[in-house]
Amino acid sequence: MRKVIKLNSETQLIKQSLKNNRKAQKLLYQKYAPKMLSLCTYYIKDLQQSEEVMLNGFFKVFTKLSKYSNKGSFEGWIRKIMFRESISYLRKKKQLLFTNEIEIYGKFIENEVESDIAVEDLHLYVNQLAVGCRVVFNLYVVDGYKHAEITEILQISEGTSKTQLSRARKALRKMISINQKKYHGTK
Amino acid sequence: MEQNKYREQVQNSVIAPSDGSWEKLSKKLDEYDNDKKNNKRLFMKYAASMLIIISIGFFFLQPENEISTDEIIVSPEAGKTSIKPSVTNSRHEPYLASPTENSTVIKMSEPKPLANEIINYGVEESVAVKNEDNIELNENSQRSVPKYYTTNTSKVTSKIVQQKIDTDYEVEELLKNAILNIEQNGQYLNKTKFSALDLLGEIENDLERDSRRKLFEKIIITIKNPTEIEITDRSK
């Protein structure tokens, strides 16, 4: 008699994926791949490279699935793997440097920046940032890590983390200000 | 608050992966599974070959002890057939061969004082035990058994314990029989030895009696027929 496996819930999908059920793995992949690819693009500019990193991340997800202890959301667990994979990729490519970057954006006045901005636009600005600033900004703002946690993940000092974030913030404000002036004619 | 809003929006943003991305991943996972299986097989192969090598080594490195059945002897007491044990050990260590079968014979190349002495006393060869290490002595038998046995008794006893009950019983039986024979034959030999002295005494007595009888006969003849005795003068 043929055994029918229901793959309705996420728990069932995870259980079956643990048994190397490709269908279950595919369903999990289809569910989370778009979100994870978006996440990877926040760390890695290039979409193709981001996809490569995402695939590597999913490979790790399926091969290390037994280590998932059901504490916290499964999505959160995958996100962790994805940004760690992204950081490791940047390290391999020797792009993750935290040198004293020259502030090319100059001074800016906070009042000049309008608060409403599309997420996609901000994403574009974030991608313009230096790698170190971008990574720290994404970890802090997008993934919600504290400076103490960022220092552990990136193996940098807390001061460096704060400096990088401050620079990212300033640079983004400047960029937004410039763009608003350019396209909307605001002061 | 704005940070949370932004975070939510970013986390919910999606970018569709390219076509065939799942196939790529699936292929990679298949390769990984195959590698894992191959590694498992390889490990099993190595483990099996190691096991074989170890078992072969264990088999060939066992001490060389020949087990053979040389002579079949008849137990004088029970009248049942048993095997004569003899021990050979090229390493000069007393070694008791596997006692799994009744036909166990242990050979040893050590000196055989007991065997020699037993033969000297005239004990039958069929019950001669040529293993000084396997002998436990009875108090009664110590008188006629060489000192050689008593020195090794404790050592031998500990080794005999390792043998199976059948072999122990057989050895004990044979030893008892041998000691009994020694004692019996020893008594017989003692009698013969002392009877020789008696014989000499008897002969001496006979001779004495005979000479006395002849002397008395001469005296009687002389008394009955007195003869003149001429005395010659030698000075002339």
pLDDT tens digits along A120-137:
778 888 888 888 888 888
Q: Looking at the predicted structure, is the pLDDT value of residue B187 above 60?
A: no
pLDDT tens, residue by residue, B27-76: 999 999 888 888 888 899 999 999 999 988 888 887 666 555 555 555 55
Q: Whole-angstrom Cα distance, residue A184 to residue A112? A: 12
Q: Whole-angstrom Cα distance, residue A181 to residue B106? A: 110
Residue whose C-alpha is closest to residue B67's, from B97, B101, B109, B110: B97
> Which residues lie below 8 Å from residue B110, measured CB to CB, with a gap of 6+?
B87, B89, B92, B94, B132, B133
Q: How confident is the model at residue B138 (pLDDT cuts 50, 70, 90)?
A: very low
pLDDT tens, residue by residue, B75-113: 555 555 444 544 444 444 444 444 444 444 444 444 444
Q: Whole-angstrom Cα distance, residue B10 to residue A87? A: 18
Q: Shortest CB distance from A33 goes to which of B2, B7, B17? A: B17
DSSP 8-state secondary structure symbol assigned to residue A27: H
More confident residue, B82 or A148: A148
Average pLDDT over residues B182-191: 61
Rounded to the nearest angstrom, the minimum Cα separation between A1 and chain B is 27
pLDDT tens, residue by residue, A64-120: 998 888 788 899 999 999 989 999 998 888 777 776 554 444 444 444 455 567 777
More confident residue, B98 or A9: A9
Beta strands in chain A (DSSP E): none
Average pLDDT over residues B125-154: 47
Q: Hey, are the CB atoms on A59 and B25 less than 8 Å from each other?
A: yes
- Chain centre distance of CA B191: 34
Chain B residues whose CB is inside 8 A of the A122 CB are 6
Residue whose C-alpha is closest to residue B166's, from B158, B174, B154, B155: B174
Q: Shortest CB distance from B9 goes to which of A37, A59, A119? A: A119
Confidence check on the interface: ipTM exceeds 0.90, yes or no: no
CB burial readout B55-86, b (16+ within 10 A) else e: eeeeeeeeeebeeeeeeebebbeeeeebbbbb
Name the residue with tokens 């490979």: A59
> Contact, B96 vs B163, CB < 8 A?
yes
Q: Looking at the predicted structure, is the pLDDT value of residue B156 above 60?
A: no
**pTM (predicted TM-score):** 0.52
Q: Is the Cβ of A54 closer than 8 Å to some Cβ of chain B?
A: yes
Residue A30 has φ and ψ, to the nearest 5°, of: -65, -30
Tell me the three state secondary structure of residue B128.
Answer: coil
> Contact, B114 vs B137, CB < 8 A?
no
Per-residue pLDDT at A3: 64
